[in-house]
Amino acid sequence: MASNIYTLAVLIIFVIWFICTIICQFRGKAAEFIHKHIDVLKLIPSWTFFAPRPGKSDYHILYRDKRSDDAISEWTEVELSEGRNLLDFIWNPRKRNKKVLSDIIQTLIITINRFPKDQDRSFLMYTFPYIMVLRLVSQQNGKIADPALRQFVLAESPGYLEESDPKFILISKFHDLN
């Protein structure tokens, strides 16, 4: 008896999970409701790989330092592993770094695009992806003696073919390093 109840419960879970997965592949109120109220454990997958907009940019983080006497350093790029090794198709520990950066910047772009271009964007400083980038940039070595402030830029470039110019996504304020 208990075994039958358990089997029935699992079957119901599978049916609900599958239907919710289908609904959540589309944007809409139903998907929003499911994500907010049903998918509390965040188990509903999103299967739209590289679509509808394929990832066609490489992302870059650059930073520069400012001293208390207003001297400013050159821009320096945060080194992130790029390119590929022969054996990456078997074992590729570097892929997560690239994916994290790509996800963080895409989340920031989505947030930026939600608001009109002329709106003050200082609210971005309180978003988690911004704080993650700021934290990463703050850990980098100084490029000038006794830096007091640091500013960063997020940029995108088209990669190997260079069919378009690199673009700025976001230029931060100077943040206090102390």
Element (H, E) at 73: none
In the complex with other proteins, the residue whose CB is nearer, 92 or 119, is 92
Q: What span, in angstroms and rounded, lies between the C-alpha atoms of 46 and 24? A: 7
Q: Give the residue from 154, 156, 151, 153 showing the smallest Cα distance to 167.
A: 156
In the complex with other proteins, the residue whose CB is nearer, 82 or 146, is 82
In the complex with other proteins, the residue whose CB is nearer, 58 or 73, is 58
Give alpha helix (H) positions in 79-166: 95-113, 128-138
Helix (H, G, I), strand (E, B) or coil at 154: strand
Q: Token digits for 10?
A: 């699992």
Interacting residues with other proteins (CB under 8 A)? 3, 6-7, 10-11, 13-14, 17-18, 21-22, 25, 41-43, 45-59, 82-84, 88-104, 107, 128-129, 131-132, 135-136, 139, 158-161, 163
Q: Minimum Å distance from CB 69 to other proteins?
A: 28
Q: Minimum Å distance from CB 71 to other proteins?
A: 26
Compute the CA torsion angle 105, 111, 112, 115 (nearest 10 deg).
Answer: 170
Q: Minimum Å distance from CB 118 to other proteins?
A: 28
The dihedral of CA 135, 137, 142, 148: what is its sign? negative
Q: Minimum Å distance from CB 171 to other proteins?
A: 20
In the complex with other proteins, the residue whose CB is nearer, 15 or 71, is 15
Q: Minimum Å distance from CB 75 to other proteins?
A: 19
If one counts every other C-beta atom within 10 angstroms of the C-beta of residue 57, the result is: 19
In the complex with other proteins, the residue whose CB is nearer, 1 or 116, is 1
